[in-house]
Every structure is written in structure tokens, then in C-alpha cells.
Amino acid sequence: MPAETQKQMAATYPLGRIGLPSDVASLTAFLASDEAAWLTGLTLDVAGGLVTR
């Protein structure tokens, strides 16, 4: 993706950047860990704060 397109997309996110694979990987690692053992029935939105609804 061209750098200018990435810059324009990043401006639409509240965090000011586009998502990276590591953003999703961090959540996945947490959910697979014992730390998430008490979580049930959640929908977790990994979208950097972007609301598209």
C-alpha cells in the first residue's frame, strides 16, 4: 500500500495509526493465556478505536 494511502487511513483512527499484526497477536496471546481464564461471552473489537457502525 502506498505511503500516502497509509497516512490517510491512519488519520481516520483515534490512535493515529493503522493496525499491525502485532496488535491482534497481543490480544490473541492474552486470550490464550491463563490470565483470560475468567472471560466468557465477550466480543472484543481490535480496531484501534475506529467505529464503522
**Fold adopted by 1-53:** Helicase, Ruva Protein; domain 3 (1.10.8)
Q: Which residues in 16-46 are b (16+ Cβ under 10 Å) and which e?
A: eebeeeeeeeeeeeeeeeeeeeeeeeeeeee
pLDDT for position 42: 85
What integer pLDDT is reported at residue 43 of this predicted model? 87
Q: What is the pLDDT of residue 45?
A: 83
The residue among 31, 4, 36, 37 whose CA lies nearest residue 18 is 4
pLDDT tens-digit profile, the chain (53 residues): 899 999 999 999 988 999 899 999 999 999 999 999 999 988 888 888 887 76
